[in-house]
Amino acid sequence: TNFMIRDRRMQQLIAKDKEPITPFIDKVRQLYTDYGVSTILVIGGSGDYFDVADTVIAMDNFQPTDVTTQAKEIAQQHRTERTSEGGQQFGKITPRIPLPESIDPSRGHRDIKLRVRDVDEVVFGMEEIDLGAVEQIVERGQLRAIAEAIVYAKRQDINGRYTLPEILQQVMTDIETQGLDILTPFPQGDLVKFRRFELAAALNRLRTLKVLDNG
């Protein structure tokens, strides 16, 4: 739980210099202001997040209700008296540069071996990429397109110089301007569009992936 919150009592017992983990409550605002990343947090055990939340929604008999005003009033009435440990900025996010030799779609005598299993797994060369937790993928054609996009990215952009965000942006720009057929040597007709987030999720789940920290 110390990833999510450290209350006042725990802060007094264990000093900050003895606790290497900065709780998320002290970084969630900076994550938004510095990088534009919003957070949807489902929580039922701590009201400390009332202080940093923009909107508070309560579920009552499966019906959502906006209780932001009430939550803010409670936060004013019952101060947590905890000390923020997150600083003014979120901190630097080190860009990662994928190494091309760590992405190998070959298997046996075939230079490229790709296979899709339902909507949650891609066989990529000798590796299996598990995307079962990526709920935004709803169509097998998306997985086919993602697998082809990884091969395309390796051929076009993954060269040991470009960062992962740069690679994702270039692949998505190529798709937007030239269509999904750009991913394969000839039109297949069974590819379905995906977002850069799903492509990133697949790359990050490729167990052979190695990166350089461009920091």
pLDDT bracket for residue 75 (50, 70, 90): very high
What pLDDT, on a 0 to 100 scale, did the predictor assign at position 158?
A: 94
pLDDT bracket for residue 107 (50, 70, 90): very high
User: Please, what sign has the CA dihedral across residues 12, 15, 18, 23?
Assistant: positive
**Percent residues over pLDDT 70 in the chain:** 100
Q: What are phi and psi of 97, to 5 degrees?
A: -110, 110
The answer to whether the beta carbons of residues 199 and 186 sit under 8 Å apart is no
- Average pLDDT of the chain, as a whole number: 94
What pLDDT, on a 0 to 100 scale, did the predictor assign at position 213?
A: 87
pLDDT bracket for residue 215 (50, 70, 90): low
Task: Tell me the per-residue pLDDT of 82-106, one tens digit each, with 9 for 90 and over.
Answer: 999 999 999 998 899 999 999 999 9
Residue-level length of the chain: 215
Burial class, 43, CB count within 10 angstroms (exposed 0-12 / middle 13-18 / buried 19+): exposed
Task: Tell me the per-residue pLDDT of 37-62, one tens digit each, with 9 for 90 and over.
Answer: 999 999 988 899 999 999 999 999 99
Asked whether residue 18 carries a pLDDT value surpassing 80, the answer given is: yes
Residue with tokens 């008999």: 61
HSE of 180, CA atoms in CB hemisphere, 13 A: 17
Distance CA 5, CA 80 (A): 12
What pLDDT, on a 0 to 100 scale, did the predictor assign at position 164?
A: 96
Region 13-37: mean pLDDT is 94
What pLDDT, on a 0 to 100 scale, did the predictor assign at position 137?
A: 94
N- to C-terminal Cα distance for the chain?
Answer: 30
Task: Tell me the per-residue pLDDT of 143-176, one tens digit each, with 9 for 90 and over.
Answer: 999 999 999 999 999 999 999 999 999 999 999 9
Asked whether residue 121 carries a pLDDT value surpassing 70, the answer given is: yes
Structure tokens at 139: 């169509």
**Percent residues over pLDDT 90 in the chain:** 87
